[in-house]
Structure 1
Amino acid sequence: MSQSELPILPVTFRPTRTRAVLLTVGAAMFAVITAIALLLETLSPGERVSFIFTALLLFGVMLLLSRPKVEADEAGVTVVNLTTRRRLEWAEIVKVNLRPGDAWVFLDLSDGTSLPALGIQPGIAKEQAIRDARALRALAEFHGSGTHAD
């Protein structure tokens, strides 16, 4: 990928279809469970509250699952996974990997570790994930090499 083909920074990579499905399902579950809690006449007020609380918990899980993203800017990359957020300088990223069968991208880091980047995952949008992984790889190679003009 040439410098002119690199994504314009800042850029955010996220599984948008998966996110849309998770948020839609979460909202639908919340609405249905809440409606059931309010419509069932045999439930006590405490039981209604527990139904609605359970609906909120389920919606919260869907929100958590829809959280992953990878944000790239001039200074580096922020990887947001389910419960963690990590900021990396471009020079820390040695390699961007998305091998056949991988559930998401892995970043090989200069300290010898590997960091999963759940924001790029082939799930229901394989071609988009491949394009995003290639774009992130090109950005990491360009910015990490120190050859670009600041």
Structure 2
Amino acid sequence: MSSDTTLPALPVTFRPGRTRAVLLTLGVVMFVVITAVGLILEKLNPGERVSFVFTAALFLGVLVLLSRPKVVADEDGVTVVNITRKRRLAWAEILRVNLRPGDAWVFLDLSDGTSLPALGIQPGIAKEQAIRDARALRALAESRGTGSESR
């Protein structure tokens, strides 16, 4: 663990805030615009209007799912919430926290030999924040679990 990385107070939630804000804003704007178009067009029958609203809700739902990822660290471990799955890990299960150049998000190397993507820390729009978050999660994993010192 580097000396410049301080341990955050627990519980702490890591999530791509800017990406989430863009996705949710875009989803709401798309919903309003598509619904307004469906209601304004005079030649549409009620079924067609409903299909416009349904399509708008579908787009919004997809963007809400895409904005869902987060990583929550607490005293007992880490909860990784990805787009459609949620997984709870004890600190001892996390061997290493990786964010290599070119990675789209953090990967957690686990004690069972697998690697779990943690989409809640992603360098897309806010690269520096993602690096800080990955370092903080790595420091927590090293101080509370087996960490990379066990390898």
> Shorter-chain TM-score: which interval?
over 0.9
CA shift, 1:82, in A, is 0.3
- CA distance in structure 2 between the partners assigned to 1:23 and 1:57 by the alignment: 13
Match for residue 73 of structure 1?
Answer: 74
Amino acid at match of 2:28: A
Match for residue 59 of structure 2?
Answer: 58
Q: Deviations over 1:39-82 (max 9, x none)?
A: 00010000000000000000000000000000000000000000
Give unpaired runs (5+ residues) of structure 2. none
Match for residue 37 of structure 2?
Answer: 36
Aligned length: 146
Structural RMSD (CA): 1.5
SS of residue matched to 1:5? coil
Give unpaired runs (5+ residues) of structure 1. none
Match for residue 6 of structure 1?
Answer: 7
Amino acid at match of 1:85: K
Alignment TM-score, normalising by the size of structure 1: 0.94
- CA distance in structure 1 between the partners assigned to 2:125 and 2:143 by the alignment: 29
- CA distance in structure 2 between the partners assigned to 1:48 and 1:81 by the alignment: 33
Amino acid at match of 1:27: V
Runs of 4+ in 1 over 4 A off after TM superposition: none
Match for residue 135 of structure 1?
Answer: 136
- CA distance in structure 2 between the partners assigned to 1:94 and 1:72 by the alignment: 15
Alignment TM-score, normalising by the size of structure 2: 0.94
